[in-house]
Structure 1
Amino acid sequence: MLGTEPKGAILLVDDDVNFVTLMSGYLSYQGYDVTTAETGTEAIELLGDVKPDLIISDIVMPEMNGYKFAETVRKSPEINWIPIIFLSARDQSQDRVRGLSSGATVYMIKPFELAELSAQIESALRSSQLMQQNRSKRAESKISVPEGVKLTNTELTVARLVAQGLSNLEIATRLNASKRTIESHISHMLKKTLLNNRTELSRWIIENNME
């Protein structure tokens, strides 16, 4: 894999030195950049500086077990998006349920097929990347208007009703005004804000908590 970009960064958390050595070698051969930690506590400290694309963790570990580790990750906004794969010898249904409930994305039982692990890693990374892309698109597509734009009290009232999904006729009835008056208010707001339609006006009101 020399000379190629890593397929992703993985944090491997396990206190079994032999297992970590074998898994690190395999994952590195598969093209991943691997960082290791022996306990959940050490892993949490590492996550303060390192942001891997995926975490692979054991459950039975000293200081902080895998369940507590996953719960801690999920409570932190900076890292709660990272997929977690549990690799554990615990094969009871209640163990699976607890593992997934604590925040694991995937629960695999040792021993496992390396090919299956690779497939699970690739699947988890794809899902995570799609989620990150969608989150970025939502942030980039946020409605904006020229700085300093202010609505009159009447316009704000009309805009709030637009954001609630009311039609122009329904707004006119609610405010005891003519439909033409409401259309005039909306037209004036669109010119003032440089927005294109009622939908964008509604989004602007909602995104800025003006409703």
Structure 2
Amino acid sequence: MTHRILICDEQPHVTRLMSLKLSHAGYEVHTAADGEAAWRVMQDWIPDLVITDESLLRLSGQELVARMRQSAVLDRIPVVLLSASEICDITNRARLAQLHVAEQVHKPFSPRQLIEDVQQILELENTNRLESVSA
């Protein structure tokens, strides 16, 4: 089964790079240029993982995740939040934990490391699903 990944970033070169790398790694990838566009994509195409920039003009990354967590269909989808800021204060960490953000990645990032993170997150999700089915 091919995993589906939605990438949301306003910087076209970032989405192109991630899309290319993840596609070559065997993932089915869709992209969106802002949070509103990502939300619209998810109404028709349910991803297995979302990678979104934190600071988007139309519906920030955190606002997108908060909206996902209110949806019965999208609430369990893991999210990787990209951030240009290395400031990780206690309030922000608490907010990310509350939103169940799987990983926070700081820009610039290593595409190889991002793919490894994605693989680990999806493997963990598969393991958790199998455990909940057998329980």
TM over 0.5: yes
Is 2:116 the partner of 1:119? yes
In the other structure, the counterpart of 2:99 is 102
In the other structure, the counterpart of 1:19 is 14
From 45, 58, 63, the counterpart of 1:63: 58
**CA root-mean-square deviation:** 1.7
| Structure 2 residues not aligned, in runs of 5+ | none
- The answer to which structure has the higher strand fraction is 2
Are the structure 2 counterparts of residues 28 and 96 from structure 1 closer, same or farther at C-alpha, using a change threshold of 3 Å? farther
Q: Which has the higher contact order (CA 8 A, sep 6+)?
A: 2
Preserved CA contact (<8 Å) 1:68 1:102: no
User: How far did residue 136 of structure 1 move?
Assistant: 2.7
Preserved CA contact (<8 Å) 2:80 2:104: yes
Inter-partner Cα distance in structure 1 for 2:32 and 2:55: 14
In the other structure, the counterpart of 1:79 is 74
TM-score, length-normalised on structure 1? 0.59
Are the structure 2 counterparts of residues 73 and 116 from structure 1 closer, same or farther at C-alpha, using a change threshold of 3 Å? same
Are the structure 2 counterparts of residues 120 and 23 from structure 1 closer, same or farther at C-alpha, using a change threshold of 3 Å? same
What's the CA shift string for 1:146-188, capped at 9, x where partnerless? Answer: xxxxxxxxxxxxxxxxxxxxxxxxxxxxxxxxxxxxxxxxxxx
What's the CA shift string for 1:109-162, capped at 9, x where partnerless? Answer: 011122221111011101111222233334xxxxxxxxxxxxxxxxxxxxxxxx
Inter-partner Cα distance in structure 2 for 1:137 and 1:69: 32
Is 2:125 the partner of 1:128? yes
What's the CA shift string for 1:47-75, capped at 9, x where partnerless? Answer: 11111111100011111001111111112
Inter-partner Cα distance in structure 2 for 1:80 and 1:135: 16
Preserved CA contact (<8 Å) 1:11 1:36: yes
Is 2:29 the partner of 1:34? yes
User: Larger Cα Rg: Structure 1 or Structure 2?
Assistant: 1
Inter-partner Cα distance in structure 1 for 2:115 and 2:41: 24
User: Which letter does structure 1 place at the counterpart of 2:120?
Assistant: S
What's the CA shift string for 1:7-58, capped at 9, x where partnerless? Answer: x110001111111111111111111110011111111121111111111000
Inter-partner Cα distance in structure 1 for 2:46 and 2:71: 12
Deviates more, 1:63-72 or 1:40-49: 40-49
In the other structure, the counterpart of 2:46 is 51
Aligned residues: 133
Determine helix, strand or coil for the equivalent of 2:134.
helix
